[in-house]
Amino acid sequence: MKTLLLCMALPLLALAKVHYAKVEPYESVTLKSAISGSVLEADLDAEGKMVTHKRVIHIDDRLDQVDLNNTKESLELLQKMVNINKELAHSLQETAKRKKAYYTRMSKLSTASQTQIDNAYAAYASAKTQYDSIKEKILSLEKQVLDAWYKIAMLEDTIAKKSIVLDRQYLYKLMVKEGEFVAPGVPLARVDDATRAKIVLFLEPDELVGIENKKVYIDDKKTNFKVNKVWRVADERYVSSYRAEIYLPAPKRGYFSNLVKVELK
């Protein structure tokens, strides 16, 4: 009976289809410019290398840097003005309280003349007006402070977008050179995530049956890898097949794009 079962299993294993695919970087993206400007630096020597925390493209940001420094200085002055006016407001508030208290006492005195009462009220009204005016000025200054913070954030964002810094990424190709002018949407570089690798397969419908339990064989060797992702809609190019991806560590020896034999059993 065991012999019969073994003989029945052998044809099933033999049905596993053979695929040949390249070991590719886990992800490949084309970086595009988000802003306009002239290219000050383009590190052509970094092409074809793993780049770790290094700027490979620098778009002119000199005027932005000047504007940023000026805005930061303006912000410091505005904050000092806010603090000075808050101290003044506190003083005016205390003055207005005293003037109000004096007017209240004066208005209750039977011996006080109407002129004295009117003068006390006028002094109180003037102090209160000054206090209200300084409060309005503080609100205006605080609005300017908020505007300055927003401008700083915008400038820092613009400056950041003018430097393409890669960290543990593979620079496949630079698409601009020093001296060129770029506009938003212009491709700058192709960058690959070479910290991991993937194999892309195009499987026929019958290969998808029980795929979550199938073992992955690479170059006739059983591995611990699995099919990580399967598209459930047929591929646009290979209309009768379904895209699948297997994720694996980056090659320790050799290079990406090596052709390997893959079987799912």
Please write the tens of the pLDDT for every residue from 131-157: 999 999 999 999 999 999 999 999 999
Mean pLDDT: which of 19-33, 61-75, 225-239, 241-255 is highest?
61-75
CB of 191 within 8 A of CB of 29?
Answer: yes
Q: pLDDT at residue 1 above 60? A: no
pTM of the full structure: 0.75
pLDDT value at position 10? Answer: 42
Q: For residues 139 and 85, give the distance between their C-alpha atoms in angstroms, rounded to a whole number.
A: 10
Q: Which residue has the higher pLDDT, 16 or 116?
A: 116
- Going by C-alpha positions, the residue among 195, 190, 198, 200 that lies closest to residue 238 is 200
What are the DSSP calls for 30-71, one per residue?
Answer: EEE-SS-EEEEEE-GGGTTEEE-SEEEEEE--HHHHHHHHHH
Residues sharing a CB contact under 8 Å with residue 106, sequence separation 6 or more, in sequence order = 112, 116, 117, 120
pLDDT digits (tens, 9 = 90+) for 40-73: 999 999 998 889 999 999 999 999 999 999 999 9
Q: pLDDT at residue 216 above 90? A: yes
pLDDT band of residue 235 (cuts 50, 70, 90) is confident
Q: For residues 225 and 219, give the distance between their C-alpha atoms in angstroms, rounded to a whole number.
A: 13
